[in-house]
Amino acid sequence: MDIDPTPADAGPPETHETREQHAPADSPFDMAPGVVIGPVPRMDACISGTDGEMSDDQLVELLAATSNVAIVGMSPRESRTSYQVAATLHEHSHFSLFFVNPTAVDQEALGKPFYSSLAALPVTPDMVDVFRRSEDVPPVMADAFDAGAASVWLQLGIVNDKAQADAATAGIPFVQNRCLKVEYLRLKERILERRAALGLPTTTSL
């Protein structure tokens, strides 16, 4: 079973009215904690929308502070959106990527193994990037919290109000309905400059 919800099999993106959320002041990022993104839905899996809730400065802080990214719903099939996004991030970002798909644990993608769950990862993920249907997100959020993830990102076309509320309650940055690949490439120069300023490596270690 392939669990990457590309637009062709996931149906059209849901409409979503965003609400400003505020979380505790001890967020691990230098931004308004618990800020939630929910841009106008777009059909293309890698066309990013715009919004008025998280600024580019805040996105830069979030992505600069992120090193280990777990991709939940990653597909071993090169034709799938999750694979294409991961391939670009593998080649052009500082992220160390970890792939989670319980149906592909006997396979590899981009030279990396698949893990059965977030709990099985050898590292604590800084970010959980989700390629699952909107209605399947809440259990992933619960697993992300249990794994100690510092932030959660739902790919374009994926929106879930409960996940949004849970992230705000937990006080962690949460992004939904945006493509991580597009946002990273758009802000790459600033992200790497910020990592250098923080004394963090600007290339992947894995």
Q: Go through the chain and tell me how many residues it has.
A: 206
Q: Report the CATH fold assignment for 29-39+53-197.
A: Rossmann fold (3.40.50)
Q: What Rg do the C-alpha atoms of the chain give, in angstroms? A: 15
Can you give the pLDDT at residue 5? 52
For residues 22-40, give the mean pLDDT: 36
Whether the per-residue pLDDT at 180 is higher than 90: the answer is yes
**Please, what is the average pLDDT of the chain?**
81
| Contact in structure between 126 and 63 (CB atoms under 8 Å) | no
Whether the per-residue pLDDT at 6 is higher than 80: the answer is no
- 185 or 52: whose pLDDT is higher? 185
pTM to 2 decimal places: 0.78
| Contact in structure between 143 and 119 (CB atoms under 8 Å) | yes
Q: What is the pLDDT of residues 38-51, one digit of tens each?
A: 332 332 334 333 33
For residues 163-179, give the mean pLDDT: 94
Domain positions in the chain = 29-39+53-197
Distance CA 24, CA 133 (A): 29
